[in-house]
Amino acid sequence: MVISGANRGSSRALSSPPELFGPSAVMCSERVQQSLQRRYQMLQTEGFNCKHPHLITWFFYMLCKHPLIQEKVAAEVKVATKSEGSKNDIAGFALSLSDEVIGKMQYLHAAITETLRLYPAVPVEGKRAVEDDVLPDGFEVKMGDRVNYISYAMGRMNYLWGEDAEVFHPERWLEDGVFKPESPFKFVSFNAGPRICFGKEFAYKQMKIMAATILHFFKFKLEDESKTDKYRTMFTLQIQDGLPLLAFHRSN
C-alpha cells in the first residue's frame, strides 16, 4: 500500500511484502511468495488508481441523466451523517465520514455498483493459458491460448440482468434497503477468482467518501444536456470529449 496523492514520485512504500501480509507469508511456497510480491508491487502502483477517474466520470454522468437518483443519494448522505447541513466546512465533513457512517450509505454503494455494471472501467479483459486447461462448460483451452471476456457486454446482457439490463437502476442491488452483492463471475467489473481486484473494498471506500462529500454540498447538471455516452476507444472505458458539468451549491 502506498500513502500518496496523484504524485506517485513522492509515494512512500509502507512495508515489504512479508511485513504487509504477516509473518506467515515468510513460510509460503516460492510460487505464493512470488504472487504476493507481484500483488504488493501492483498495490504500490495502484494506490492512486487509474480506473477511478473513469468511474467518477460515468457516475456523475449517470447522476446527471437521472436527477431523482442524484437526489436520493444526497438524501441518504444527509441521513447517514445526521447533517442538517453545515454548508461551508467541506474538509470537516469529509473527515467525519467514518467506516460506520460510510457503511450506512447502501443506496450510494448500489449506485456506484450499477455504474460499474454499465460502464466497467476495464471493458475487455484477457488472459493467456500457462498450461492446458478445461473450462467449466468442457471447452478445452490449450497452453498459450488467449481467453477474453467482455465485461461491458456482460453488464448489459438481458440473459444475466433481465429485460431492464440497459436501465440504470441502483435498486436492483438492494434487498430491504441493504446492498446485496452478486457473484463476481456475473458482475465481472473487478474480475473474479484468484485474480479479483485486490483494491476493490478500498476503491469503494474512496469513491463513497468522494461522492458523499461532493453530493452533500453540490448538485450537478450536464453543461450540455444532449450529451450521450460516446466512448474513446482505449484499454479503459473513457467518455469522449470529457464531461463538462455545472455545479450548484445546495444551499441555493
Q: Is 191 in the site for ligand HEM (CB under 6 A)?
A: yes
Number of shown-chain residues binding ligand HEM (CB under 6 A): 21
Place of cell 461522492: 211
Output the nine-digit C-alpha cell for 187. 458482475
Select 20 or 94, whichever has its Cβ closest to ligand HEM: 20
Instruction: Give 74 or 121: the residue with its C-beta nearer to ligand HEM.
Output: 121
147 phi, psi to nearest 5 deg: -120, 125
**Nearest to ligand HEM of 46, 76 (CB atom):** 46
Angstrom distances, CA of residue 156 to CA of 10, 140, 162, 224: 40, 27, 9, 25
> Closest Cα to residue 110, out of 59, 159, 166, 152?
59
Sign of CA dihedral 165, 169, 174, 179: positive
102 scored as a contact of ligand HEM (CB under 6 A): no
For ligand HEM, the binding residue among 13, 14, 101, 198 (CB under 6 A) is 198
Per CB under 6 A, 113 contacts ligand HEM: no
Strand partners, 128: 146
Q: CA 115 to CA 152: how far, in whole Å?
A: 11
Find the DSSP H helices in 143-199: 151-154, 158-161
Residue 202 as a binder of ligand HEM (CB under 6 A): the answer is: yes
Residue with cell 485474480: 195
The single residue among 74, 121, 214, 215 that binds ligand HEM, judged by CB under 6 A, is 121
Question: What is the footprint of ligand HEM within residues 31-50 (CB under 6 A)?
Answer: 39, 42-43, 46-47, 49
Smallest gap from Cβ 52 to ligand HEM, in A, equals 5
Tell me the window of 18-26, 93-101, 153-161, 198-206 that interacts with ligand HEM (CB under 6 A).
198-206
For residue 167, CA distances in Å to 14, 118, 163, 186, 234 come to: 42, 9, 9, 17, 24
The answer to whether residue 122 forms part of the interface with ligand HEM (CB under 6 A) is yes
Among candidate residues 134, 105, 119, the one with its CA nearest the CA of residue 229? 119
Cβ-based nearer residue to ligand HEM, 83 or 236: 236
Q: How far is the CB of 179 from ligand HEM (least distance, A)?
A: 16
* Smallest separation, CB 43 to ligand HEM (Å): 5
What minimum distance in Å lies between the beta carbon of 3 and ligand HEM? 11
Confirm whether residue 64 is marked as ligand binding: no
Question: Which triple of cell numbers denotes residue 174?
Answer: 438492494
Name the site residues for ligand HEM (rule: CB under 6 A).
Answer: 39, 42-43, 46-47, 49, 51-52, 55, 121-122, 125, 189-191, 195, 197-199, 202-203
Annotated binding-site positions: 197
Annotated binding-site positions for heme: 197
